[in-house]
Structure 1
Amino acid sequence: MPRRAGRAALRTRLALITSAAVTLVALGVCAAAYVVIRYELVRQLDLQLTQQANLIAQEKRDQPAGPLYGECVWLSAPACAQIVTPRTGLPGARGGEELVLPVTDATRAVAAGSRSAYYSDITLRGHRMRLLTTPLRGHRALELAIRSDTADQGVRQAGRLLGAVGAAGVLLAAGLGYLASRTALAPVTRLTATAERITATRDPAHRIELSAAERRRPDEITRLADSFNTMLGELQQSVAAQRRLVADASHELRTPLTALRTNAELLARADRLSDSSRDRAAAALGRQLREVTGLVNDLIELARDEEPQPLVEPLRLDELVARCVEQARGHWPDTPFGTELAACTVYGVPARLARLLSNLLDNAAKFSPPGSAVEVRLTAGEDGGTAGGIDLTVRDHGPGIAPEDLPHVFDRFYRSRQARALPGSGLGLAMARQIARAHGAELTAERPDGGGACFRLRFPRT
């Protein structure tokens, strides 16, 4: 329920934000349209007043102060007009009782020539009117007013219409915002549902289903869903690899542990054994302990994901290879090792790279027939390997790698038919590849011409 409430809250917030944005735009457009319509209607009245004032000024240029007409029809609109002087409307002035339009100080200022023409809104006999006050010759001013009922009515109608349009726009924005939130959050909803299913079932095999349209037009959320699916795929592979490792390790440990228990039980009855039987049991027990210890150490090494950065240092790879070859000659005295080493420098952990090289050399010697040489060749690019690529090959002349075994030689606990009768746990090559990748190198297996197996360790340009 909390997760569903969270999804609903996110959807509601997105819908509200979208609706608010569209509503603001719609209301802004309606308000701007209202202002423009009102301005145009008032401007039409002002133009009409200006044209009529020019006609009156030409016809009545000698008319004395006073009303020209009280209420009459002028261009199909009731209009009133009067001429005033700077003293019209003042106490003691003549003709004040005949005034039709209001006379203010601003009107007298226009008559006196101290102020320019202006427009104003007045109410006369219960009607709203638009008034123009403009100067005439001879220190006089003309006041001309026409009714603005039509313009006011048009403004009110436009306001009601725009209000209805705005209300419809708000409702439409709310509906579109809801639909947009549902559409935009559909991959997120599926992502959340997938995460909940994985949490409930602990099965990373679930995926977020994306439609063909979403795949053709990927957006940020669709890319997030794709990334989540990719992450689930990697997680599924990691879980499967861990399960295989545990199953394989338990299988590999079962046999030596059984032998250890058997030999320990034999040694517990040492008084009943002959000296030779007791010595054989003790030797077998020591050998099996060493095998189990080596297997556990290999498992610990494989559990490491990366090399410790503080231990990384520049080192001469050719010198390290030479030392590892000398150690291999001591372990495998019947196997000759031939070397061709170019001077080069790499960055890495010396102990880990030595373990990688020892695994490759031991693997080559183990499969080489007695007296057959193991060839070790190291080539480097420009500048001693710091700028050019580095290539190390270890080749034996044994039975080689079968085509069906080639894709699996670096798998943990994998042992080919030829290797099942030989000592080992099947972890050496897997550990070698892990160390190589931790150093930015790539370890591959090849089937060279002439038989045997060749393992190539390639460091890229640094």
Structure 2
Amino acid sequence: MRHPREGSLRTRLAGLLAATVASAVLLMAGIAYLVVARQLERGQDVALQREATRIQRLVQAGSEFLASSSDTCRYASEPACTRLISASASPESGDAPLRVKSEAVEVARGRLAVAFFTVRAPGRSVRVVVMPTVPGEAVMVGLPITTVDITLDRIRAVLVVLGAVGVLSSALIGYIVAGVGLRPVRTLAAAIDRVARTRDPRESVAVERDDELGRLARSFSAMLSELAAANAAQQQLVADASHELRTPLTSLRTNFQLLERPDALAAATRIELVRAVDDELRALQSLVGDLIDLAHGDELDGDRVEVDLDVLLEAAVATAGRHWARAAFLLRGAPADGAALVVSGDPERLERLVSVLLDNAGKYSPDGGDVEVQALATDTGIRLVVADRGVGIPVADLPYVFDRFFRSPSARSLPGSGLGLAIADQIVRAHGGSIRAAARPGGGTIVTVDLPGA
């Protein structure tokens, strides 16, 4: 089981910055120490080789001052310590600090031109150079490196102190910088907490930044705006639906109360009441169905499929002709080249769209009025046009005909809930299209739907 990381993001960012700085400090300190140590050692080797060259020349000139120093270290010139060795000397012979090494024997035998090495002894370390003098002999010259060791120890201590100060400073600065940088995140988190606590999406996040956090805050504000709009639309739908349901329910209750007194009603009156109840139940069922359609929203539930609009229109026109017998439904405008008009979308919702438009046209058409239905291809997709000869829509009401429960004053005497065109608008938007209504020359209404082709 994985456990969530402990600690705040601010602490983790500060720790990450401190670890990064610590790595950089350790790397730079190591490089600096190696460079300084190498420079000190090189400077010491130069001085040591200069002293060894001087002694080498003395020996080669026949000086006798090293004649008795074959087994011991002799300080010919302080602080240098010298010792003569022969080619027959045994490695690791002699006393510290100038104990014979195999490299020194190789120089005495002429196999090496010069050799450097360090002899470590308790309380005293010596850097040694071995140079040949006369055939079969070599001289070992050593200089104490205590001063160099002390210098390197001090450098290590300084680097450790500076590194620790750098790491602590970086951690502190990182903590402060992370706090300033994460301030928008805290603002965003506080807004989220308020929304979760109050369940009110009408919240704004004021973060004026152009970086990723600013874009995150703006995206969150946009999401809250969308949620607030959806919540307001849902509340409005519930309020409107409650208002629309109240009238048929009240009428049903009244009629049922009358039917509960059969002795006080004539047979003809009772039959009329039963028919009225049936009509009201049908209207109520239709209203509930419309509300269910509106609940689908502007998104398609399933995958899109290709729908042949010609076939769909033929079936829908035939159904509407049977249901609205007083109107003449005419399907016009088949493609001249015989190409099918194919739309990508949900077949059931597209069928519902055409049914709503045809029912709306048939409902408001006079006896014998024609309803022309035409589908044609455009540069951007498919266009569906439904034109009737009904009462028409006043120009002042055209901007509102697709609102939920809106009914023009000229149409309020006819049955309906005012949801048909709102459902059509929702289905069209779900398919990425557009819908508009306009007055038809000579009277009536033209509804135009543009849908993207498959």
Shared fold, TM over 0.5: yes
AA at the equivalent of 1:235: L
Post-superposition CA distance 1:394-423 (Å, at most 9, x none): 233556555654444333223233333332
Deviations along 1:131-185, whole A, 9 cap, x unmatched?
1123344122222222334433332332232222112101111102212332343
Distance in 2 (CA, whole Å) between partners of 1:49 and 1:401 is: 111
Mapped to 2, the partners of 1:150 and 1:322 lie a distance apart of 106
Superposed displacement of residue 264, structure 1: 0.9
Normalising by structure 2, what TM-score? 0.84
Deviations 1:309-340 (A, max 9, x none): 48x65442112212212222333333333322
Equivalent positions of 1:283-322 (< 5 A) are 283-305=275-297, 307=300, 309=302, 313-322=305-314
How far apart, in 2, do the equivalents of 1:253 and 1:111 lie?
Answer: 117
In structure 2, do the counterparts of structure 1 residues 441 and 16 end up closer, same or farther at CA, with 3 Å as the change threshold?
Answer: closer
Tell me how far apart the structure 2 counterparts of residues 53 and 403 of structure 1 sit (CA, whole Å). Answer: 114
Q: For residues 66-81 of structure 1, what are the structure 2 equivalents within 5 Å?
A: 66=67, 70-72=75-77, 78-81=79-82
Counterparts in 2 of 1:405 and 1:140: CA distance versus 1, 3 Å: farther
- Residue number in structure 2 paired with 1:138: 135
Tell me the TM-score normalised to structure 1 length.
0.83
AA aligned to 1:355 is: R
Q: Which residue of 1 is the match for residue 186 of structure 2?
A: 189
Q: Classify 1:131/1:6 alpha carbon distance in 2 versus 1 (closer, same or farther; 3 Å).
A: closer
1:377 aligned to 2:374? yes
1:335–1:370 Cα contact (<8 Å) kept? yes
Deviations for 1:97-120, whole angstroms, at most 9, x for unmatched residues? Answer: 9x9843344422321234563322
SS in 2 for 1:447: strand
Mapped pair 1:341 → 2:346: no
One-letter amino acid matched to 1:80: C
Q: Secondary structure at the match of 1:146?
A: strand
2:260 & 2:248 partners in 1: Cα distance? 18
**Runs of 5+ consecutive residues of structure 2 not aligned to the other structure:** none
- Between the aligned partners of 1:50 and 1:367, the Cα distance in structure 2 is 117
CA 1:295–1:391: 2 relative to 1, 3 Å = same
Distance 1:350 1:449, change over 3 A: closer
Change (3 A) 1:100 1:317: closer
Counterpart of 1:240? 232
State the partner residue of 2:52.
Answer: 53
Identity %: 38
SS in 1 for 2:8: helix
CA apart distance, 1:70: 1.5
Tell me the number of residue pairs that the alignment of Structure 1 and Structure 2 aligns. 438
Alignment check: 8 A CA contact 2:344 2:453 kept: no
Q: Distance in 1 between matches of 2:390 and 2:60?
A: 127
CA deviations on 1:201-229 (whole Å, 9 max, x unpaired) are: 1111113221x3x2x2x12x443333322
Aligned to 2:435: 444
Please point out which of 409, 419, 423 is paired with 2:415. 423
Find the partner of 1:166 among 155, 163, 166. Answer: 163
Aligned to 1:198: 195
Match of 2:26 in 1: 27
**C-alpha RMSD of matched pairs (Å):** 3.3
**2:263 matched residue in structure 1:** 271
List runs of 5+ in structure 1 lacking aligned partners: 383-387
Q: Measured at CA, do residues 166 and 350 of structure 1 come closer, stay the same or move farther in structure 2, by a change above 3 Å?
A: closer
Measured after TM superposition, the shift of residue 194 of structure 1 is 1.4
Classify 1:291/1:125 alpha carbon distance in 2 versus 1 (closer, same or farther; 3 Å).
Answer: closer
Q: Which amino acid aligns with 1:181?
A: A
- Would the alpha carbon gap of residues 370 and 204 (structure 1) be closer, same or farther in structure 2, given more than 3 Å must change? same
Counterparts of 2:289 and 2:150, CA distance in 1: 95
- 1:109/1:115 contact within 8 Å kept: yes
Letter in 2 for 1:335: A
Distance 1:129 1:442, change over 3 A: same
Tell me the equivalent position of 1:85.
Answer: 86
Relative distance call for 1:102 and 1:280 in structure 2 (3 A) is same
CA contact (8 A) 1:88 1:108 kept: yes
Q: Following the alignment from structure 1 to structure 2, what is the Cα–Cα distance between the partners of residues 271 and 163?
A: 108
Could you give the per-residue CA deviations for residues 269-311 of structure 1, whole angstroms, max 9, x where no partner exists? 222122332222222111111100111111122223555648x
Whole-angstrom CA distance in 1 between matches of 2:389 and 2:123: 118
Matched, 1:117 2:122: no
Counterpart residue type for residue 341 of structure 1: A
Q: Is the 8 A contact 1:19 1:176 kept in 2?
A: no
> 1:400–1:128: structure 2 CA closer, same or farther, 3 Å change rule?
farther
